Amino acid sequence: MDRAALAQATKGEPWYIEAYGESPYFPGCMRWDTGSADADPHDPVVSDIPTLLLHGRFDPYSSLTLIKEAAENLSRSWVVEFPNWSHNVLGSDCGPEVRNGWIDDPTSPPIRAASGTWIPSGSRSP
């Protein structure tokens, strides 16, 4: 891991430094001989496997723009934004309901949850 590049990527943003630049996992990684990844982690994932991407509007780690950008290379993907949630949308009643319904038929768009607390932010059909 290039710690200097990571520090530069934080651009002095305190929240970014705290979340990524000062990760408590770094010392553990240094002790283990983890090696290097086979692929560049910056390369986008390209797949035609049905994929459901759930996003909380107030997620401090992943913006909706980044989620949609990731979905561009997933030809059979659906993006669902939960407008009142943060990072863990599966901690809500609605998130698991949407996920579980979609798992039953992953080639179709997710169904609207009965609670109506989410809005589809985009979809792409196969």
Span 21-38, pLDDT tens digits = 677 777 777 777 767 777
Q: What is the pTM of this model?
A: 0.61
pLDDT tens, residue by residue, 3-23: 677 777 777 777 777 776 677
Residue 54: partners with Cβ closer than 8 Å, 6 or more residues away: 80, 82, 89, 90, 95, 98, 99
Q: Which amino acid makes up residue 97?
A: E
d(CA 89, CA 33): 34
Dihedral sign from CA coordinates of 125, 74, 67, 99: positive
